[in-house]
Amino acid sequence: MKSLFLLAALAMLAANARAAENQGWYILRWMEKPGSAASDAAAPRDHARFVQAGGYDEREPIEKARKLISRLREGDVIAYRMDKWKARKELLKGKFNVIGYRLYKYGHLAIVVNDSHDRPRLFSSQSFKGPNLDEGLDTLAAHSFDVYRIDKWERVNKPRLQEFVRLSREKAGAWYGYDFSGMFGLWNSNLSPRKPTDIGHDYICSTVVLTALYYAGLELDANRRGGLLDLVTPAQVVDSKGRFIPLPEMSLETVAQK
């Protein structure tokens, strides 16, 4: 599997020799632009967008990170970034999971959700782990990141968000919980699930956030082609506008199977 990552990394690195600092490679920037189909189809009252609510650079005093982390709340989306030189250095060490930081504005994405004990955790998906709640908010202090907040968070269906988090984790298993085909933009798991059986078992970090929000009633413009030949990047998600959509009357495992 490491050889697969190596080949993919070399192919991507050869795509363009010049990188624009902290903006991703020029030839790939078009992939970061979300569409507008969802938001264009919505009535103004149903429009939604992300608002940046803070940011931290790992070279800054740790007190700034702690202060920002203390203000985080459920639904905040965390977009991780890394200096290009640092990402290049990590790649040379064989850490191919940082390739996204070299190619795009952001290299990883997570959303703050409360676990079963009502503790805030970071919900995301990583290679060989799949969807998970393994990391607490305190881990953010070791990274550079920006915080994005949905402007109408009160309209997001929180029980359905929790249901998606639980079911996606249950359906994933070890390495196949991560969507390696989605990593290269070939095809993705179902990005528009309406009921529990629609939820896929493998997602990348950006599509697991995108799909969790869709399941909870917020359709984002980042879903441009229904997951086919569309690499959904972290920046594509947080730069998206969106719309609130009607939800099925029956959910939550069809009301616990009645």
Q: What is the pLDDT of residue 84?
A: 75
What residue numbers bound the domain in which 42 lies? 2-248
Structural domain contains residue 220? yes
Please give the tally of structural domains in the chain.
Answer: 1
Provide the residue type at 170 as one letter.
E
Rounded to whole angstroms, the Cα distance separating 3 from 56 reads: 34
* Paired strand residues for 51: 149
Structural domain contains residue 253? no
Q: What is the pLDDT of residue 102?
A: 77
Q: What is the pLDDT of residue 67?
A: 97
Structural domain contains residue 254? no
Whole-model pTM: value is: 0.81
Q: Are 189 and 200 in contact (CB under 8 A)?
A: yes
Q: What is the pLDDT along the chain (258 residues), one digit of tens a residue?
A: 444 344 444 445 444 434 444 454 555 666 677 777 778 888 999 999 999 999 999 999 999 999 999 999 999 999 999 887 776 776 677 666 777 787 888 999 999 999 989 999 999 998 778 899 999 999 999 999 999 999 999 999 999 999 999 999 988 764 443 444 444 444 557 889 999 999 988 889 999 999 999 999 999 998 765 544 467 899 999 999 999 999 997 655 544 444
Structural domain contains residue 256? no
Q: How many CB atoms lie within 10 A of CB 243?
A: 21
Structural domain contains residue 257? no
Structural domain contains residue 158? yes
Write out 4-56 in H/E/C secondary structure.
Answer: HHHHHHHHHHHCCCCEECCCEEHHHHHHHCCCCHHHHCCCHHHEEEEEEEEEE
Structural domain contains residue 21? yes
